Structure 1
Amino acid sequence: MKKIIVALVVLFILYLIGINTVPQYIESERNPVKTPAPYTVSAEAQALYNRLDFISDLHCDALLWGRSLNERGDRGHVDFPRMREANVSLEMFTIVSKSPAGQNMKSNSEDAFDNITPLTIAKGESPWNWFSLINRTLSQGEALAQYVEKEQGNAIFIKTKADLERLLAERKTNPKVIGAMLGIEGGHALEGNLENLEKVYEAGIRMIGPTHFFDNEFGGSAHGENGAGLSEFGKEAVRKMNEMGIFIDLAHSSPAIVEDVLNLTSKPAMVSHTGVRAVLDSQRNLSDEQIQRIAANGGIIGIAFFDMAVGEPELPNIIASIKHVRDLVGIEYIALGSDYDGSVAVPFDITGLPLIVEGLMQAGFTEDEIRAVMGENVKNFFLKNLN
């Protein structure tokens, strides 16, 4: 018995060590920054950046890693202090609940080993989260609420139009106030149960992507195996999301789902993080026809920052992607959709956003166009469409 007790104590100590080391190591490996901060731009670009009233990003997976957003991190891409350093007004934090082993852009099985399960255990999360996608999802949502609460009024959890209006009003006198929204990357988090839409809505989630890297109850992924459109469950979920005021995020959806959603939805759709096929011909990117249909729907398109969405070198290709959408449908449909902290290597963390302003200036974008891309379009979209 004594040996068993000693063995259990040793295992417990090793588990505690793992909680404090393994997730940090994994995050550092999965979310590198190709060029570390600090970043410098021309005086003209920095001056224009400093004049921006509202800067926003539509996609960040920082909640996945268990790192406190209240503290300035030495790894990863986004936290509240770095948002303030970059004068970012609003970030969409997205929840990843499942990720297939061997994840790739072309073909993934929904039955593949799930990478998030061991990470969930290693982070020391409740056993209730270990094998439940909805519990993992709600737990990450609660974590964001707690991070916001710890800011003691200097952060606002944006769930309604009134919340956004409060953010805009408070930032006029206190630019330290930041906003955080919450989305889900992959409808598998609902576990095939429409009643879970009510739970995630109550948790503050206002955006859901039907699929992520594999097919699920909604239908086919752009990186899955069946290429299917919306299932009957998916169609009913879209209708209910419209009624509730949850935005549909078409990033990672199969072309058939993109078409089905745009045919079915009564509300504007989003693409939180993507590239365009005219710049990088990838199955995860949008075709010109899709871009035109999303614009006709009144939607908004977030341009991602990483090589598998825009190609290399990233910065000029980010600018080229923005330019392509502008020239095709107009400036008002474009946003930033970094995919920060999403198991991707990025050219710069959130404090490097002035580099995008400099790139847009060099490409001949006007100040009004730059304002639109950097956040005004997101502000206007949510003011118009949030309940």
Structure 2
Amino acid sequence: NQKFNSDNKTTLINYRDKGFELAEGEDEIVIELGDEGSAEDIAFLTYSPKELTATGSRTFAFALKKQLGRLRHPIDVFNPRGQDLQNIDCVAVFCGLMLECIDPNSNYQNTNDKLPNSASRNMKVWRRKAISYMNDVNPEPHSPVSLEKFVTHWQIRHPFSSDESNDIKWPKKANLMELAYKLVSWIPEFQEDDEGVVYLKAITQTITQTSFFNKYSANIDFSSPEAEKESINEALLNIFVPIASGGVQIDENYFEVIPANRFNIMSIHQAKGLEFPLVIVDVGSRFKKNLPKDANLRFPKNVDSSSIIQDRIKKYSSLSNRNRDSKDMAFDDLTRLYFVAFSRAKDVLLLVGLNPNIDGYKQNDKQMKIPNVALGWNRDEEFIGFDNIFLI
């Protein structure tokens, strides 16, 4: 059942006449998880799952995750692509610990003028968080060696032994992947949390890929002072700088299996091939006004860069459709995107957005609309609507 619910009855009645069916006077819609259901039966699909914009503003995905965590019975969210990798606390601690091990006191980091300023700043933040984690949290296990003692032995280049023997020599070469997996012992998020496992995969994949193309193959070479300096600087530039500068993205292949009992927030593209009993699609949480800067996400006005490239090369292709211009192609792409989103629902499809996407808004005493392909606007900027979509 659906219940009519809006601040602007006249506008909504106009929408009913044009394409939305209103079910006024009926019982409120109720969507609940049965005894056999779980949060994994639900997917929230959005153009981008980022929880913060480039300017630091919080998105609807951020608010949704926060509210679900505040419930009397909190619901865990699975959104590993919600934050930039370099800003995640457990990643910062982990990378900071690795840096403290291989480059004590930032000796090489501070003297390497090839490091970008932004990456260097993030690495300093990582180190501070790692030191705080060692001293203030002092995580388990403490035996046979504590985290602080492990890092200290790395910094003084002295191998750990239970009897503190001086007969054991520090190896001439140390593999960064082995160091990473030893440090994981003190990072519970990388062992127990589904999102943490994804972050660990992203970091270790970066180390692995680096090993194929660099002189020291993701090893720190202690055979001579020159080799040590060169191998540490190589690791700083080719492993830690990409992570610290935002160059390492969370690949969808890192989480092929969706965890149980987690509310899924994902991009529409990521949801291809998946189905859920309840699908919630964000069709307008970021659109308060009809602004050109976000038109490509809802109603393309100008040709985007990818369409321009397609236009330039399609004349050389036997598959070229010369009757379709770049703007038409942009509309086609957006229509296909939301077709993918809407068709992910097995039982219930729920579209969400801000009220101005339906009611419009006032500007200079004029009623303005926000054209949106996902809400049933055609290319002539006319609202057509959809069959069997109820406004609640």
Place the TM-score, normalised by the shorter chain, in its bin. under 0.3
TM (norm. structure 1) is: 0.28
Greater Cα radius of gyration, structure 1 or 2: 2
TM (norm. structure 2) is: 0.28
Query: Could you say which structure has the greater relative contact order, defined with CA pairs below 8 angstroms and 6 or more residues apart?
Result: 2
